[in-house]
A and B are shown apart, each in its own frame.
Chain A
Amino acid sequence: AQTVTQSQPEMSVQEAETVTLSCTYDTSESDYYLFWYKQPPSRQMILVIRQEAYKQQNATENRFSVNFQKAAKSFSLKISDSQLGDAAMYFCAYRSANYGGSQGNLIFGKGTKLSVKP
């Protein structure tokens, strides 16, 4: 069974600085998707960034980028120029690319709570 591990329960960053959130996963599959979701306090969980395992190029979305190391099964999220609005719980998630049955669901890590200091 696949597992996702986020080893940092809490992180803190100074506004305008850069922070990296860690995520590792375990799978025997070769094709899958990885996601970072963000849940601000009392607000909806939204997708931050998505990575297809077959793509070697790391995904980027504005100030958010990932460092995807397939061999190491590592998928870290880098937030550049941190803003106060980045404060949230961040969840790393895995999804098999073999659509159908139980493989359609997301497998989540426990989350990392990010605080941004002004």
Chain B
Amino acid sequence: EAGVTQFPSHSVIEKGQTVTLRCDPISGHDNLYWYRRVMGKEIKFLLHFVKESKQDESGMPNNRFLAERTGGTYSTLKVQPAELEDSGVYFCASSLLGGDRETQYFGPGTRLLVL
């Protein structure tokens, strides 16, 4: 079974540009989470989808961040325009809805550097 995948693995952009990160969850996982780790700090929750609906977006830093989950499958996280403080590693995780829903499985992350 394929795990959570994320694309790209790395992205280097200039301040003011736009970047879109993609996450493909494990097949059948209705829960999808986005997290971010800024260097030297904790991994912080950004938002949570249940299928195609945003269950909780309380962790989104500001309106420069837009997340979508098309048809309840893959998700994208767009940062527009990017700022220096957006640099960090963006993780995606997925879990089952019901059953072993307590365990979240993580992707490898996207390392974003804003110059």
Contacts and interface: CB of A to CB of B under 8 A. Distances in A.
Interface of A: 4, 33, 35, 37, 43-47, 50, 52, 91, 95, 97, 99-102, 104-111
Given A43-B108, A47-B103, A47-B105, A102 B58 contact: yes
Interface stretch (B12-20, B41-49, B76-84): B41-49
B103 A105 contact: no
A33 B91 CA distance: 20
A81 to B, nearest CB: 25
Nearest to A105: B45
A106 B104 contact: yes
A45 B109 CA distance: 9
Interface in B59-109: 59, 91, 93, 101-109
B106 A104 contact: no
A45 B3 CA distance: 11
B31 A104 contact: yes
Interface in B24-46: 31, 33, 35, 40-45
B11 interface: no
B104 A110 contact: no
Contacts of B42: 4, 108-111
A49 to B, nearest CB: 11
- List the 9 closest pairs (A to B, CB-CB), nearest first: A105-B45, A108-B43, A45-B106, A44-B108, A102-B56, A108-B42, A33-B102, A110-B42, A102-B58
Nearest to A3: B42
B55 A101 contact: yes
Contact of A37 (B3, B48, B106): B106
Contacts of A47: 103-105
